[in-house]
Structure 1
């Protein structure tokens, strides 16, 4: 027997033993165990949003997917002591409970390719927190035929007041999951699901069935509600499946589902990239939980918030401190009122009081336990924030969003920053661990009491994307020649400068160009982040420009700033030729990713986060596009941007949700070579060969030989001399004059204008505008 090769890896605070990393587990795809471990480690921050605290059933494939596989529910006796477990079921099995990334790595090392989760979470293992409808098609049924059935069931489920989420199973089926409050046993929830499924199946009897036995299905899709039983499970969101192609059970938006042809497109090699690029389609899942429809209290009209016993009526004891500090005839804040609600809601407020801070409020014993957090939620593990406990607040504060008048306690604007549900995951002697789930914020935190009212707040789990440290690429726009006239757009100036992503972390600024080149050192006037922003942490999309006396951007000046060298020279230029940074979007703010919020809402957060009278300015927008374009044309500006007000931010992707309308038609191209010059151009070049990059491919666009003056030609020649000469680069299209051309490494970026594309995909009448060193990738 071959000796097992082992090594130890540090995963968080755990040491995990790994073995036989080169063992092939998916033979047809050449996927080895190391890739499976890597996948589960990378997807852990998102997968654990759904599996954390749940008992797991494992499907192990010790010899790969072509060998024998088996279910495992019992925790192995030799499992490390730090692995949590819970004893469940009539057979008293010790189920492993999902907790942290290290556990996923340990399970992957056991070739536990599939993770199946029970429908309940600790501490209420006897009460499910979602209702699942498993659409199981018969043999030979195509995946695309299941989609309209799923959509029809979704519409029915919504009429019962639930929010249905959908995911692929990793096979040809779909799971529709509806978050519910964990307040009833499995049988009661099953009956509620049956109450929905029965009339649906009767309505679509030719297409769907509730018959479990395959011979009774007669080619119909099974609507399997029988999984909603104690001890039953479904494959976890983002879990692998032990099948060829290494597919993943992938959560999707309903719009995304309509575009899916084959669920295998979501697999071990594409899933993480999709989540990082598009975000988690199920974000905030738990925040949509509602009571099951068969046990909902009857809704009665609420009376206006009037105290019939007058202003002298005493509030509950725990709200006396709150009431004493406020005059409710002057402040719009909710008055203290008795409450016997024992729910689990939370709210985080962004509060402009004497100093900007955040208020964390957790529902407990009928009130909101509250802490003021000066620097906001910690963005990732290792960052600790002071949290000062304040007086308890009434539950009505969960939805309070407004301005507290001057002269009143806590005067200033108060915005709802995040609103959802929380769960205490672990009690400690001087504090507790808790998980926040909402549309805006999802994460696990620990709060620890130090002394008196002072607590320490820290994040426990790693976010899937660390917006402060990751290489985030900016969202890109499609180009059009006409201003859109449809409703739903906002418009802003297209600033003629250097596109930059500005990150702020505890007052420190870092600036990266579109090509991820760090140019922070080039712009010292932009370093004072603590003076420029009303925020501790943030990531902003912007354009750095140099302005002339009339306020018009001059591209050549900002490029001069970009290419300047020497600390003393750069400092001198920051005063003689200063830049301004026009910010037009906000991707992240004080512990909260904003990329999934509508653009118009991100604009509100942005306007609130940037201080006036600094080198940073908010790029203003307007609702009328044609007049803005006409003004841009009149003042010889580059053009305007038209953006859907409801658009999400899609890092690194080009989308028609954003449109650029230029005063002149132009394109960014790569210089791939040049022809020799004649006469006065004998010492430089005749024309530049150019190609346009589409995806990872260069498409040949011909030659550009006009638009140069003598000084520009000398500058270009100096740049090209530093580029390596190569054989003809790999481009799409037939190149011109190959025998007299000097071919170059495709790294120099330029901008050219042209009239239109010819039938053979060349630029007609191209004219050189300028080099774009800001788009080049910095040398390693």
Structure 2
């Protein structure tokens, strides 16, 4: 028997013993156990959002997916003591409760490839928090025929007042889950699911069935509602499956599902990449929890609560009412309302001092805390939270401006609205989880004084918006401005595209190509003076202006290329830059990318202080006039943007259109021809290619637009790039045998009249180097 090879790894605050990391788990896919562990550790922030506090059944594959596998429900006696468990069921098995990334690493080291979850969550183990419909097609069934059934079932379920979420199973079917408030037992939820499924199957009897026995299905898709029963489970979101291809049970948006023809496309190789690019399609699932349709009550009536020793007055809203004149403020006067008891709202409140208001529903009112510095972005960051007077339940929907002279005067925006759960109560505070479309996370409220608390985030987000490199959203091009009320228009600033990350007074500025240029622009580093925020990520353009206010690209590139602290400081005075900010991706504890553009613009404007090098890039409603003004003043062009568009990091979208006065493109230099005559010592023309997706499309040669200084500058950059024997492009290369080919890293901008029939640039002219985009 081969000796077991072990080593210890530090995962958070735990040490986990790992063994046989080079064991092959998925032979056809050449996936090692080390890669399985890496997958679960990397996806931990997202998967824990769904399985933390749930009892888990594991399917282990100690000898790989072709070896013997077995279910494991009981926590092993030799498991580390820090692995939590719950004793459940008639057999009183000790189910593992995942609580942190170290638990997932420990499970993966046991070759626990598949994580299957029970349908309830601590502390309500006897009450499911979702209803599941498992679409299980027979072997060999075309998945493309399952998708329309799923969409029809979705529409049917919605008539009962539920919000269905969908995921692949990692096999041949789909799971449709409808979030529930954990108020009823398993039998009631099963009965409700049966009442929904029966009429659907009756109306789709040629394609679906409720018969669980395979011989009775007759080639139809089983609408499996039997998994919702006590003790049953489903594979967890983002769990691997022990099958060839290393597939993953992938949560999807319904729009994404429409384009899926084979669920096996989601696997260990690309699941994390998808989540990082698209986010978690199920992130806000718990915010849509509702009562079972069979148990819904009439709208709760207002009523007075009895005296409460925690309040000086039996009228819990008395303090709130005394501070307000309801003839002058649009705030709700409010009555105490009994209801679901788990709603929350966070307001961004720009009063005399900007702060955030956290409000949690309890006993028919909203318990409220003012959080001056916003929500903590990650574990380890603590925020002061001062408890204020209780607010009426109507404040859940209040979004507006409190008039000057009134208590709390100023703008108040709903920053997040959804459901919350108390996950743990302590003598000195409590733990709670927020679930909403806007923000989801687990937090701790720790009491330090009578009305003072410390707010701390418990779970780590999947994406660290402030410290990772985030790729900006990219635009398509258009010949003229699109018209219509759906668009807004702003100038296209001729400068360096940059993302500005601001955290706790520290700043980081980096380009579209992840070049850190923080040190090059010292005049942009006074974030506390420039921003009304504690943490933020802005999308912007750094420009250098001439005396008339026109941006000069060459000047800002010279600033970016400057070296030496004293030289940079001198240039910041003689050639200062300005930063025109046009979007906000993250602000004080939550991402904004899912918000409509106009809402992001509203918060952006509030977050940028006046009279600093940072300026809000203003927008207008008249695209034609702005474009003509840009042409008349010799500017580069304008941007047309859909007013309701989301921000799509790293993606090119026609929701943003670049409309240039002159047609140009950013292309890669892939080679050059030998020079002749007075260019004999340099080059004749540059071979250029445009990146389309992952391919390079050849656009021909550019040999005009150079003067002597530009030729020397370009030649200097060419010498930094490695030469190649050949290069692969889409299109027929010119002068293949007489050209020098280069590693495609150097980006330049060229103008052209149009594309030829063979997709070359007609009449190309060199405009400038783009060192802000190049990789050299």
Shorter-chain TM-score category?
A: over 0.9
**Structure 2: how far apart are the matches of 1:191 and 1:372?**
44
Comparing 475-484 and 455-464, the one that deviates more: 475-484
Shift of the 722–212 alpha-carbon distance from structure 1 to 2, 3 Å rule, reads closer
Write the distance in 2 (CA, Å) between the matches of 1:671 and 1:16. Answer: 49
Determine helix, strand or coil for the equivalent of 1:565.
Answer: coil
Distance 2:268 2:622 in 1: 45
Question: Helix, strand or coil for the counterpart of 1:712?
Answer: helix
Contact 1:131 1:189 (C-alpha < 8 Å) held by counterparts: yes
Per mean C-alpha deviation after superposition, the further-off stretch among 160-169 and 322-331 is: 322-331
Match of 2:247? 247
- Is the contact made by 2:336 and 2:393 (CA closer than 8 Å) also made in structure 1? no
The answer on whether the counterparts of 1:12 and 1:102 sit within 8 Å (CA) in structure 2 is yes
C-alpha separation between the residues in 1 aligned to 2:154 and 2:742? 56
2:566 is the counterpart of 1:565: no
1:120-269 maps to which residues of 2 (within 5 A)? 120-269=120-269
Task: Map 1:744-763 to 2 at 5 A.
Answer: 744-763=742-761
Residue equivalent to 1:777 = 775
CA distance in 2, matches of 1:611, 1:57: 53
Report what 1:609 is aligned to: 607
Q: What residue number does 1:310 align with?
A: none
Cα distance in structure 1, aligned partners of 2:84 and 2:344: 27
Q: 1:345 to 1:639 in 2, by over 3 A?
A: same
1:740 aligns with 2:738: yes
- SS of the residue aligned with 2:376? coil
Preserved CA contact (<8 Å) 1:315 1:338 = no
1:57 and 2:61 aligned: no
1: CA distance between counterparts of 2:136 and 2:736? Answer: 58
For the residues of structure 2 that align with 1:703 and 1:694, how far apart are their CA atoms? 18
What does residue 648 of structure 1 align with? Answer: 646
1:67 and 2:67 are equivalent in the alignment: yes
> Match of 1:547?
545
Deviation larger for 669-678 or 230-239: 669-678
The answer to whether the 8 Å contact 2:503/2:536 transfers is: yes
Taking the aligned partners of 1:124 and 1:758, their CA distance within structure 2 comes to 66
Q: Name the residue aligned to 2:307.
A: none
User: What is the number of residues matched between the two proteins?
Assistant: 769
SS of structure 1 residue aligned to 2:746: strand
1:337-376 paired onto structure 2 within 5 Å:
337-341=335-339, 343-376=341-374
Which residue is equivalent to 1:428? Answer: 426
Structure 2 counterparts to residues 618-767 of structure 1, below 5 A: 618-767=616-765
Contact 1:342 1:365 (8 Å CA) reproduced = no
Contact 1:190 1:229 in 2 (8 A): yes
Instruction: List aligned pairs for 1:403-414, cutoff 5 A.
Output: 403-414=401-412
Distance 1:372 1:686, change over 3 A: same
Shift of the alpha carbon at 1:522?
1.0
Post-superposition offset of 1:687:
1.3
* TM-score (norm. length: structure 1): 0.96
Unmatched 5+ residue regions in structure 1?
A: 307-313
Query: Once the 2 structures are TM-superposed, how far is the Cα of residue 329 of structure 1 from its aligned partner?
Result: 3.0
Q: Is the 2:746–2:775 contact (alpha carbons within 8 Å) kept by the matching residues of 1?
A: no
Q: Distance in 2 between matches of 1:403 and 1:725?
A: 62
Structure 1 residues 193-202 or 754-763, which shifts more? 754-763
Deviation sequence 1:232-262 (CA, Å, 0-9, x none) = 1111111111111011111111110010011
Q: Secondary structure at the match of 2:604?
A: helix
Deviation at 1:413, TM superposition (A): 1.4
Most deviating of 10-19 and 687-696: 687-696
- Structure 1: how far apart are the matches of 2:487 and 2:265? 33
Any idea what SS the aligned residue of 1:90 has?
coil
Match of 2:330 in 1: 332
Query: What SS is found at the alignment partner of 2:559?
Result: helix
1:492 and 2:490 aligned? yes
Matched with 2:114 is 114
CA contact 2:485–2:621 (8 Å) conserved in 1 = no
- CA-to-aligned-CA distance 1:332-356 (integer Å, 9 cap, x gap): 2222533344611111111112210
Structure 1 CA distance for aligned equivalents of residues 600 and 47 of structure 2: 27
**CA shift at 1:320, angstroms?**
3.0
Q: Cα offset for 1:403?
A: 1.7
Residue 61 of structure 1 and its aligned partner are, at CA, apart by 0.9
2:536 is matched with which residue? 538
Q: What is the SS of the residue equivalent to 2:391?
A: coil
- Who is 2:308 aligned against? none
The structural deviation recorded for 1:575 is 1.8
Aligned equivalents of 2:389, 2:298: Cα separation in 1: 33
CA distance in 1, matches of 2:335, 2:729: 72
Could you tell me how far apart the structure 2 residues matched to 1:373 and 1:383 are? 13
What is the TM-score normalised by the length of structure 2? 0.96
* Secondary structure of the corresponding residue to residue 274 of structure 2: helix
SS state at 2:227 partner = coil
Residue number in structure 2 paired with 1:309: none
Aligned to 1:311: none
How far, CA to CA, are the matches of 1:92 and 1:412 in structure 2? 56
C-alpha distance after superposition, 1:269-327 (max 9, x if no partner) = 11110011011111211011111111111348x89x99xxxxxxx97443333233233
The CA distance in 2 between the partners of 1:133 and 1:120, in whole Å, is 16
1:389 maps to 387
Q: CA 1:279 to 1:376, structure 2 compared with 1: closer, same or farther past 3 Å?
A: same
Provide, for residues 652-681 of structure 1, a one-character-per-residue CA deviation record: whole Å limited to 9, x for no partner: 111222221212221111122222322332
What is the distance in 1 between the residues matched to 2:10 and 2:611?
Answer: 48
Secondary structure at the counterpart of residue 490 of structure 2: strand
Aligned 8 A contact 1:516 1:777 in 2: no
CA RMSD of aligned residues (A): 1.9
Which shifted more, 732-741 or 524-533?
732-741
| CA 622–212 in structure 1, closer or farther in 2 if over 3 Å, else same | same
CA offsets per residue over residues 438-471 of structure 1, 9 Å max, x none?
Answer: 1011111111112232211111111000000111
2:525 is aligned with 1:527: yes
- Deviation of 1:381 (Å): 1.1
Report the Cα distance in structure 2 between the residues aligned to 1:375 and 1:28, rounded to whole angstroms: 51
* Counterpart for residue 281 of structure 1: 281
| 8 Å CA contact retained: 1:316, 1:338 | no
1:534 partner SS: coil
Q: Distance in 2 between matches of 1:79 and 1:320?
A: 53
2-structure distance, mates of 1:678, 1:672:
20
